[in-house]
Structure 1
């Protein structure tokens, strides 16, 4: 069973600071979303850079946004609404990014903190240093 999004597509001003950030520098918003959705396997910086390169050289960064929206929907069993992910990102890219960011915040993540900090707040354990054995260097 799928669930509804916590906020609507056009509710961008519910988080006005993220709305302004997304309008001025969507690569940061996208990078933050991607890091959390990918569970830390890609960093915010890497994802944001790829997004920026696609934006500058092809203008098709919305395709990357579409892919991550689909991942987010599958991970949290969200409805494919108000329309297909690719159509949504093609026509309302900034609104879609803002909605995805708000959804993650609603689910207890703070994309601005990066994945490791969110992992510990979601009971996934604390990312720490590897254990050391006797005679090994310690910090």
Structure 2
């Protein structure tokens, strides 16, 4: 007879959506109305908050105030495409960032929400 006890710990299960496309279109503001209202009415605060959430410097979007093509919006969109494996071109990103800036930030916000990795413990018991 054995006096050993076997204990199995719950293992985390990573659930992630794999896609090479944006989860929503640039003009899909109805998908998240509160976010889009915040992005439209207080664009600079919204852009700074989303940049910080994405892991970059909080005040980085304020550099977009200079020039015609917004360099930070463009670079954040390209960075997000690369991080999430979304297909696209820098030319398209440049056009979107220049002419649809608030909508682009709302789209990136929705994408961060959709792609956040949720961790579910399988077999865990509540104490």
Match of 1:21 in 2: 38
Higher helix share: 1
Does structure 2 conserve the Cα–Cα contact (< 8 Å) formed by 1:66 and 1:89?
Answer: yes
Taking structure 2 as the reference length, the TM-score comes to: 0.66
Alignment match, 2:50: 33
Q: Offset of 1:122 from its aligned partner?
A: 6.1
Instruction: Determine if contact 1:65/1:97 at 8 Å carries over to the other structure.
Output: yes
Q: Tell me by how many angstroms 1:108 deviates.
A: 2.3
Equivalent in the alignment of 2:88:
80
Q: Provide the C-alpha distance between the structure 1 equivalents of 2:62 and 2:48, rounded to a whole number of angstroms.
A: 10
Normalised to the residue count of structure 1, the TM-score between the two structures is: 0.61
Point out which structure has higher relative CO (alpha carbons under 8 A, 6+ apart). Answer: 2
Partners of 1:61 and 1:4 lie apart in 2 by: 24
In the comparison of the two structures, how many residue pairs are matched?
Answer: 102
Gaps of 5+ in 1: 110-120, 124-139
Greater fraction of residues in strand: 2
102, 107, 119: which one aligns with 2:110: 102
Asked whether the equivalents of residues 37 and 71 of structure 1 are also in contact (C-alpha less than 8 Å), the reply is: no
Contact 1:22–1:94 (CA under 8 A) maintained in structure 2: yes
Unaligned runs of 5+ in 2: 1-18, 121-127
Once the two structures are superposed, the pairs formed by residues 109-128 of structure 1 within 5 Å of their partners are none
| Partner Cα distance (1:107, 1:79) in 2 | 15
Larger Rg: 2
Instruction: Provide the aligned C-alpha RMSD in A.
Output: 2.7
Q: Is the 8 A contact 2:74 2:93 kept in 1?
A: yes
Q: d(CA) in 2 for partners of 1:9 and 1:95? A: 6
